[in-house]
Each structure stands twice: as structure tokens, then as C-alpha cells.
Amino acid sequence: MKAWVFGDNVDTDAIAPGRYMKSGIEEIASHCLETVNPEFSKQVKAGDVVVGGRNFGTGSSREQAPEALKHLGVAVLIAESFAGLFYRNAINLGLPAVACAQAKRIRQGDLLQVDFQEGWILDLTTAEKLACESIPGFLMSIIRDGGLLPHLEKRLARTA
């Protein structure tokens, strides 16, 4: 998993620009983070990791922000901290988001291994192991189901 590293306060207008919000997720994703790193949406590969600094995802409630990252194949989000609303949206879309106080030790292009259930990140490039917060059990069950929509589908099927 290759790391794409961004700074503090990356906002939802950078991740999912407002002027493309009327379009489908494919169009929105093609402009994802273009004002910060124009190469990102073209070169990111399935399974890569996005690493942010403080308050990643600040701004709008638009869930197209985590949805665009997921659409591009991003497997995990790591940040020193997340904006609360963005964090809820990421989990609800089945995209794991892991808060790691030492996220800034990760450099662009590092290869990572992440266990968000146990709460650790292994930087294979620097051979450094970083502690991170684990995702609470009831949110893990949403991620395991692939997001809140399939999670609700299962719940409704049980009660039907």
C-alpha cells in the first residue's frame, strides 16, 4: 500500500469541488485533490493509502468527499486527526479512517501495512511501527458490511 501524503486541514472543497457536485462520482473523483496535487487522481492505485495531517476532511457534509477517495481505490485513510463529520461519512461509506498521532512520520511514497482493528501501522520503507487508534467495534461492523447501506440492508432482512 503506497502512501499519498497531504498536509493539515485538507478541506472537502479540495477533495470534492463544489462545481462538480451535480455530476456523478466518476467526474467528481477525476478532480479529487487537484488543487493540492494535480497528479493524485491520475496516479493513485487501488489499495493505496491517503495520509493527512490535522483535521483531514474539514468543511462540508458532502459524502462525495470520502466517496471520491474510495472510488479512486483508496483503501485506508490515515490522519493525525479527522474532521468529525468527514470521519462519520468515511465509515458510513465503508472506508476505514484511522487516527494516528504520528501520521506526520509517514513520507510520500512509503509502503505501508495497516491493521486498523488492532491499531498499528507498519511503515515498510522506514521499518517503523506507529501506534494508531483502533476503530470501535460497532463501527467495524459497518465497515465489514461495506458501509451503512449494506449494513442496513442486512438489518432489515433480519427483521423482515
Partner 1 sequence: MAQTLAQKLVARAAGREQVTPGEIVTCKVDLAMVHDSSGPRRLQPRLERLGAKVWDPSKVVVITDHYLPAYDDESRKIIQIARDWVKEAGVSAFYDAQGICHVVLPERGHLRPGMFAVGGDSHSPTGGAFATYMFGIGATEMLGVMVTGEIWLKVPHTIAMDFDGGLSPGVSAKDVMLFLIGRFGMDGGQYQAVEYRGPAIRALSMQERMTLCNMTAELGGQTGLIASDEVTLRYLGKGEIWDGDAGAPLLAHHKFDAGQLAPQVAAPHSPANTRAVGEFHERLDLAYIGACTGAKLDDLRMAASVLKGRKSKIKLLVAPASLRDQQAAEKEGTLGILLDAGAELLANSCGMCAGYGENLLPDAAVAISTTARNFKGRMGSASAQVYLASPYTVAASAIAGRIADPRELLA
For partner 1, the binding residues (CB under 8 A) are: 9, 11, 13-14, 17-19, 21-23, 35, 54-55, 58-63, 81, 83-85, 88-89, 92-93, 136, 138, 147-149, 152-153, 156
Give me the least distance between CB of 18 and partner 1, in Å please: 3
Rounded to whole angstroms, the Cα distance separating 56 from 83 reads 6
Give me the least distance between CB of 8 and partner 1, in Å please: 9
Q: Which is nearer to partner 1, 43 or 61 (CB)?
A: 61
Give me the least distance between CB of 111 and partner 1, in Å please: 29
Give me the least distance between CB of 102 and partner 1, in Å please: 17
Q: Which is nearer to partner 1, 23 or 43 (CB)?
A: 23
Torsion of CA 130, 143, 11, 115, to 10 degrees: 10
H helical segments located in 40-114? 40-43, 64-71, 84-92
Asked if 79 and 34 count as a contact pair (C-beta separation under 8 A), the reply is no
Q: Which is nearer to partner 1, 76 or 90 (CB)?
A: 90
Asked if 110 and 125 count as a contact pair (C-beta separation under 8 A), the reply is yes
Give me the phi and psi of 15, to 5 degrees please.
Answer: -80, -40
